[in-house]
C-alpha cells in the first residue's frame, strides 16, 4: 500500500513539474531556444507572491492574481530587451545570455531577500492540510489534487489558445517558418514576446505552487529548471500534453525512489532521463521536434 | 584577375601558418613557461598558491572554450569532471596510491568516464546538450554523497599531503598545475592544427553542412568532450591539492560553469589566446570585487550577458580581428604570393584578413 501511496503522491507532484515545464516547452516550440533562467524565473514569481503576502497578509492565491500580470509584463520585456537580440546573434548566444540572466536573478534575490528559506505553506489556508482518507495508509492531499487540476487546466487553456485563437495560430505559424509568417503580415517580434510572456507567467504560477507545497530560497531555481527540462525530455520536446506525461513520470520516479530511500528521490528522476536518452527514445522525441 | 591566377590559383596565393609575430610570441610563450618554473623558488608560497589558482582557471577556461568555441558545444555540466577529478584523487589516495600520482590518474579517469557519458549527451544539441550535461553532473554529485567513505555531503580532506612541508607541498602542486596547463594547452593547440581541428570548426559553423561533406561529426565531438573532461578532471584534482579540502556542494557546483562562461566570453570565445587573457582578467576582478558578495555575482552575470550580445568575440577576438594578430599559429592565412605577383589594388581586398579559424 505504501507503493500505491508513493505512486499517487508522484502523480500529483507531476502536476507541479508539468506546470514548470510547459513554459520551457512553449519557448522551445516557438523560438527553438531553451531559457536557462526558467527555474530562477519561477522562484522570482514565488518571491513576488511572497512579498505581496508579507505586506498585505492576503491569501497567496489572491496575491498571485496580482503577481501574474507582473510576470506577463516581465516576460514581454525579457523578450524585447534580451532574448530578441540573442536570437539574432546565433544559436548559442541565447544559452549564454539566459545563463547569465539566471546568475543575475539568483544573486539579486539573494541580495534583496537574504538566503533564508521561505514558504507560503502557512499562508495558504486549509488547502495545505486538507486530504481525503481513502484507506488507512492511502490519503489524497487536497493541495496535490489542486496543483494537478491547475496544471491540467493550464495545459488545456494553452492548447486551446494555440489551436483556436488567432494569436495561437500566428504563434504556430511563426514557429514553423518565421520568414513566411512575416510575409503574410505576422509580426514575429510581437508573437515571440507574447510567447515569452506566457511562458514566464506559467513559470510564476509554478513558483506559487512550489512555494505553497514546500520551501524555496534564492538558490532553488536551477533544480527547478532541471526538473522542468526532465519533464519536457520525457514527454517530448514541444508537445504540451507530453509535458504532463513527462511531469507525472518524473514525479512517480522520484516518489518511488524516495520510498526506497529518501536519498534516492532526485537520483531516481535523473536516472529515468538517462535511460530515456540511452534507449534512443529521447533522441527520437528530440528529433520529432516542436509542434507547439 | 589575371589569366594565370585563374588557371592556377595556387600560384597567386600561398597558405601561411607561421608569421614573424607568431614566431616571436611562441618563443615568448616558451620563455614565459620557463620563467614560471622558478616561481616557487623566487616568489614564495603565497604567490605560488595564487598562481596555482590562476593556472587552474586557465585550464578550465581553455577546456570550456575548446568545447564551445571550437565544437559549438555549450556545456553547463563540466563541474561533473571537476568533481570526479577531485573525488577520484581522494578515492585513489585512500586505496594507497601516492597523492600526486592519484591526481594524474583521477584526471585520466574523468576522461574515461566521459566516454560513456558522451554516448548519451552528444545526441543532444544546443540547449538540450547544455542541461543534459548539467543533469549528468547532478547525478555524479548525488552518487558521491551516497558514499560515506568519501565524506558523504560534508566534505573530505586530502590528509596524505601532510607529509610534505607547506612550502614544498605548494611548490609540488604548482609544478604539477603548470605541467598540466602546458600539456593541455599543447593538446588543444595540436588538436586545432590537425585535420580534426578543421573538422571541429566546420561543425561549429554548420553541423549539418559539415556532416554532408563527410566530416566525422560524432568522432570529432567525442574527442573534444573526452579531452575537456580530462582537463576539468585535472583542474578538480589540482583544486583539491591547492585547498586540501573539498565539499560535494561546491566542487560539483554549477558556479564553475558560470566562471568558465564568464572567462571565455570576456576573453574571446573561439580564440586560442582569449581564455588565457580572460582567466587573468577574471582572477584580478575576483580579487578586487569578491567582497561585494551577491552584487559582485550580479555584475559577473550582467557582464557575461553584455559580452555575449555586444562583444561576442570577447576582448582578444576583437583585438585579433582588428589588427590581424594571432600570437600562436592555430589558423591559416592566405597570403598573395607577393614575390611573383604583387597584390593589385582593388582585386584582393584585405589579403591579410583572409584568415580562417
Does residue B347 fall inside a structural domain? no
**Measuring CA to CA, how many Å separate B236 from each of A269, B132, B226, B229, B279?**
26, 21, 15, 10, 16
Nearest by Cα to B220 from B237, B242, B249, B197 = B197
Q: d(Cα A101, Cα B192) in Å, to the nearest integer?
A: 32
- Which range has the worst mean pLDDT, A195-204, B113-122, B209-218, B269-278? B209-218
**In whole angstroms, what separates CA A116 from the centre of its chain?**
23
SS3 for A36-52 is CCHHHHHHHHHHHHHHH
User: At CA A76, angle to CA A74 and CA A79, rounded to 5?
Assistant: 105
Q: Which residue range is the domain that position B53 belongs to?
A: 18-330
Residue B347 — very low, low, confident or very high, per pLDDT cuts 50/70/90? Answer: very low
Question: Which of B89, B119, B137 lies closest to B233, judged by CA?
Answer: B89
In this predicted structure, the answer to whether residue A241 has a pLDDT above a threshold of 80 is: yes
- CA B165, B166, B171, B176 torsion: positive or negative? positive
**Greater pLDDT, B9 or A19:** A19
Give the SS3 label for residue B245. Answer: strand
What's the whole-number mean pLDDT along residues B240-260?
90
How many domains are contained in chain B? Answer: 1
Round to whole Å and give the CA distance between A217 and A105.
Answer: 12
- pLDDT tens for A256-270 read 998 888 888 899 999
Q: Which of A10-14, B69-73, B210-214 has the highest mean pLDDT?
A: A10-14
- Count of Cβ atoms closer than 10 Å to residue B145 Cβ: 18
Using only C-alpha atoms, chain A has a radius of gyration, in whole angstroms, of: 19
Q: What is the mean pLDDT of chain B?
A: 83
Give yes or no for a contact between A225 and A36, defined as CB atoms under 8 angstroms apart: yes
Give the model's pLDDT for residue B12: 64
Report which secondary-structure segment, H or E, holds B120: helix B99-121
In this predicted structure, the answer to whether residue B3 has a pLDDT above a threshold of 50 is no
pLDDT for the residue B155? 83
Over range B159-184, report the average pLDDT.
88
The predicted model gives B108-121 an average pLDDT of: 93
Secondary structure (3-state) at B354 = coil
Contact A192, A30 (CB under 8 A): yes
Q: Does A80 touch chain B (CB under 8 A)?
A: no
Give pLDDT, residue A275: 85
pLDDT at B239 over 90: yes
Which range among A35-39, A133-137, A204-208, B336-340 shows the weakest confidence by mean pLDDT?
A: B336-340
Answer yes or no: is B357 within a domain: no
**B335: confidence class by pLDDT, cuts 50, 70, 90:** low
Helix (H) or strand (E) holding B169: helix B166-193
The answer to whether position B52 is within a domain reads yes
Chain A (85-124) residues lying within 8 Å, Cβ to Cβ, of chain B: 85-86, 89-97, 99-104, 106-108, 110-111
Instruction: Quote the longest CA-to-CA distance of chain B.
Output: 76
> How do residues B27-73 score in pLDDT, each as one tens digit?
888 888 887 887 887 888 888 889 999 999 999 999 999 999 888 89
pLDDT band at B8 (very low <50, low <70, confident <90, very high): low
Q: Report ipTM (2 d.p.).
A: 0.85
- The reply to whether A47 touches chain B by the CB within 8 Å rule is no
Q: Which residues pair with B16 in a beta bridge?
A: B333
A289 contact B CB<8A: no
Q: Which residue has the higher pLDDT, B85 or B207?
A: B85
CB contact (8 A) between residue A94 and residue B302: no
- In this predicted structure, what is the pLDDT of residue A39? 95
Select from B60, B69, B152 the least CA-distant residue to B110.
B60
pLDDT of residue B349: 39
Q: What is the pLDDT of residues A45-73, one digit of tens each?
A: 999 999 999 999 889 999 999 999 999 99
Mean of per-residue pLDDT scores for chain A: 88
Residue B74 pLDDT > 50, yes or no?
Answer: yes
Identify the residue with better confidence: A99 or A142. Answer: A99
Q: Which residues on chain B are in Cβ contact (under 8 Å) with A221?
A: none
CATH number at residue B51: 1.10.3470
Question: Does A86 contact B302 at a Cβ distance shorter than 8 Å?
Answer: no
Tell me how far apart the alpha carbons of residues B164 and A231 are, in angstroms, rounded to a whole number: 50
What is the structure's pLDDT at B16?
A: 66
- Residues in CB range of A43: below 8 A, 6 or more apart: A105, A106, A109, A207, A210, A216, A218, A220, A221, A224
B chain contacts of residue A34, beta-carbon cutoff 8 Å? 126-128, 130-131
What's the grid cell of residue A198?
506566457
What secondary structure letter does DSSP report for A81?
I
Strand partners, A141: A131
Phi, psi (degrees; rounded to nearest 5) at B343: -60, 135
What is the spatial distance between Cα B200 and Cα B219, in angstroms, rounded to a whole number? 10
Cα→Cα distances A13→A158, A174, B94, B197, Å: 20, 33, 41, 46
Q: How is residue B201 written as a grid cell?
A: 570548426
Q: Chain A contact for B89, CB < 8 A?
A: no
By percentage, how much of chain A surpasses pLDDT 90? 54
Question: What residues in A contact B117, CB-CB < 8 Å?
Answer: none
What average pLDDT score do residues A6-20 get?
A: 92
Which pLDDT value is given to residue B351? 39
- Are B209 and B169 in contact by the 8 Å Cβ rule? The answer is no
Nearest to B312 among A89, A99, A266 (CB): A89
Q: How confident is the model at residue B346 (pLDDT cuts 50, 70, 90)?
A: very low
How high is the pLDDT of residue B196? Answer: 84
pLDDT above 80 for A78: yes
Could you tell me the CA-to-CA distances from B196 to A110, B170, B191 in Å, in that order? 44, 37, 7
Let me know how long chain B is: 357
Q: What angle do CA B324, B325, B326 make, to 5 degrees?
A: 120
C-alpha–C-alpha distance, residues B138 and A165, integer Å: 41
Mutate to test the interface with A, among B64, B309, B310, B311 (most CBs of A within 10 A): B309
Partner residues linked to A127 by β-bridges: none
Contact B142 A266 (CB under 8 A): yes
| Shortest CA distance from A91: residue in chain B | B126
Report which of A165, A119, A164, A126 is spatially closest to residue A143, judged by C-alpha positions.
A126
CA distance B117 to B140: 11
> pLDDT band at B112, cuts 50/70/90?
very high
SS3 A236: coil
| Winning range, highest mean pLDDT, from B29-38, B117-126, B131-140, B152-161 | B131-140
CA distance B131 to A225: 9
pLDDT given for residue A279 in this prediction: 77
Residues with Cβ < 8 Å from B311, sequence gap 6 or more? B318
Evaluate whether A127 touches A154 at the Cβ level (below 8 Å): no
pLDDT of residue A240: 85
pLDDT-above-70 percentage for chain B: 85
Nearest CA-CA distance, residue A166 and chain B, Å: 29
* pLDDT tens-digit map of A36-45: 999 999 999 9
A267 and chain B in contact, CB less than 8 A:
yes
Contacts of B130 in chain A (CB under 8 A): 34, 36, 95, 99
Distance CA B129, CA B121 (A): 6
pLDDT band, residue B5 (cuts 50/70/90):
very low
Most confident of A160-169, B141-150, B194-203: A160-169
Cα B101 vs. chain centroid, distance in angstroms?
Answer: 22
Q: Is residue B48 part of a domain?
A: yes
Name the residue among A12, A7, A21, A27 with its Cα closest to residue A227: A21
> Whole-angstrom Cα distance, residue B65 to residue B59?
10
pLDDT (tens digit per residue) in B280-292: 999 998 888 888 8
Is residue A185 predicted with pLDDT exceeding 50?
yes
Chosen for mutation from B72, B255, B301 (greatest number of chain A CBs closer than 10 Å) is: B301
**In contact, A36 and A98? CB cutoff 8 Å:** yes
Instruction: Please report where in the chains the cell 586530502 appears, as a residue.
Output: B158
Name which of A232-246, B100-114, B172-186 the model is least confident about.
A232-246
Amino acid at each position: 500500500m505504501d507503493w500505491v501511496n508513493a505512486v499517487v503522491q508522484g502523480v500529483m507532484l507531476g502536476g507541479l513539474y508539468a506546470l514548470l515545464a510547459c513554459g520551457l516547452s512553449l519557448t522551445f516550440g516557438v523560438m527553438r531556444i531553451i531559457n536557462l533562467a526558467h527555474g530562477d524565473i519561477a522562484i522570482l514569481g514565488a518571491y513576488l507572491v511572497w512579498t505581496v503576502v508579507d505586506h498585505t497578509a492576503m491569501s497567496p492565491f489572491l496575491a498571485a492574481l496580482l503577481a501574474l500580470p507582473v510576470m506577463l509584463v516581465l516576460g514581454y520585456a525579457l523578450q524585447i530587451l534580451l532574448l530578441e537580440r540573442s536570437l539574432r546573434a546565433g544559436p548559442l548566444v541565447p544559452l549564454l545570455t539566459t545563463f547569465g540572466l539566471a546568475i543575475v536573478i539568483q544573486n539579486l534575490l539573494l541580495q534583496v531577500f537574504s538566503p533564508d528559506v521561505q514558504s507560503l505553506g502557512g499562508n495558504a489556508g486549509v488547502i495545505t492540510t486538507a486530504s481525503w482518507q481513502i484507506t488507512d495508509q492511502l490519503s489524497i492531499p487536497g493541495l496535490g489534487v489542486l496543483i494537478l487540476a491547475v496544471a491540467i487546466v493550464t495545459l488545456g487553456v494553452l492548447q486551446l489558445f494555440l489551436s483556436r485563437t488567432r494569436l495561437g495560430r500566428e504563434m504556430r505559424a511563426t514557429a514553423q517558418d518565421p520568414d513566411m509568417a512575416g510575409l503574410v503580415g505576422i509580426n514575429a517580434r510581437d508573437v515571440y514576446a507574447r510567447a515569452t510572456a506566457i511562458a514566464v507567467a506559467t513559470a510564476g504560477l509554478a513558483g506559487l505552487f512550489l512555494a505553497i507545497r514546500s520551501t524555496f530560497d534564492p538558490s532553488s531555481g536551477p533544480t527547478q529548471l532541471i526538473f522542468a527540462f526532465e519533464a519536457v525530455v520525457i514527454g517530448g520536446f514541444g508537445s504540451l500534453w507530453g509535458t504532463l506525461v513527462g511531469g507525472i513520470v518524473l514525479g512517480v520516479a522520484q516518489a518511488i525512489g524516495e520510498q526506497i530511500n529518501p536519498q534516492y528521490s532526485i537520483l531516481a528522476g535523473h536516472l529515468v532521463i538517462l535511460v530515456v536518452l540511452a534507449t534512443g527514445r529521447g533522441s527520437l522525441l528530440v528529433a520529432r521536434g516542436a509542434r507547439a | 584577375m589575371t589569366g594565370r591566377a585563374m588557371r592556377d590559383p595556387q600560384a597567386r596565393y600561398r597558405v601561411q601558418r607561421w608569421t614573424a609575430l607568431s614566431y616571436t610570441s611562441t618563443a615568448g610563450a616558451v620563455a614565459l613557461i620557463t620563467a614560471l618554473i622558478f616561481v616557487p623558488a623566487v616568489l614564495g608560497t603565497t604567490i605560488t598558491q595564487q598562481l596555482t589558482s590562476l593556472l587552474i582557471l586557465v585550464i578550465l577556461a581553455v577546456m570550456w572554450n575548446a568545447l564551445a568555441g571550437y565544437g559549438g558545444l555549450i556545456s553547463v555540466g563540466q563541474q561533473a569532471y571537476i568533481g570526479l577529478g577531485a573525488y577520484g584523487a581522494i578515492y585513489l589516495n585512500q586505496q594507497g596510491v601516492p597523492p600526486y600520482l592519484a591526481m594524474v590518474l583521477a584526471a585520466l579517469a574523468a576522461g574515461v568516464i566521459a566516454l560513456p557519458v558522451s554516448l548519451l549527451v552528444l545526441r543532444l544539441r544546443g540547449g538540450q546538450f547544455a542541461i543534459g550535461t548539467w543533469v549528468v553532473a547532478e547525478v555524479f554529485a548525488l552518487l558521491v554523497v551516497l558514499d560515506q567513505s568519501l565524506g558523504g555531503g560534508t566534505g573530505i580532506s586530502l590528509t596524505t599531503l601532510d607529509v610534505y612541508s607547506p612550502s614544498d607541498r605548494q611548490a609540488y602542486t604548482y609544478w604539477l598545475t603548470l605541467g598540466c596547463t602546458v600539456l593541455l594547452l599543447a593538446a588543444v593547440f595540436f588538436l586545432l592544427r590537425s585535420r580534426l581541428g578543421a573538422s571541429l570548426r566546420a561543425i561549429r559553423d554548420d553541423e549539418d553542412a559539415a556532416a554532408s561533406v563527410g566530416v566525422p561529426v560524432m568522432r570529432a565531438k567525442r574527442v573534444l568532450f573526452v579531452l575537456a573532461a580530462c582537463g576539468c578532471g585535472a583542474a578538480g584534482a589540482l583544486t583539491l591539492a591547492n585547498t586540501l579540502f573539498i565539499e560535494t556542494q561546491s566542487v560539483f557546483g554549477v558556479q564553475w560553469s558560470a566562471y568558465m562562461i564568464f572567462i571565455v566570453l570576456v576573453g574571446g570565445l573561439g580564440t586560442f589566446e582569449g581564455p588565457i587573457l580572460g582567466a587573468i582578467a577574471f582572477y584580478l576582478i575576483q580579487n578586487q570585487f569578491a567582497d561585494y558578495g551577491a552584487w559582485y555575482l550580479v555584475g559577473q552575470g550582467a557582464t557575461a550577458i553584455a559580452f555575449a550580445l555586444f562583444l561576442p568575440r570577447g576582448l582578444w577576438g576583437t583585438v585579433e580581428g582588428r589588427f590581424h594578430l594571432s600570437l600562436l599559429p592555430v589558423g591559416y592565412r592566405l597570403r598573395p604570393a607577393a614575390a611573383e605577383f604583387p597584390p593589385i589594388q582593388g582585386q584582393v581586398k584585405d589579403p591579410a584578413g583572409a584568415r580562417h579559424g
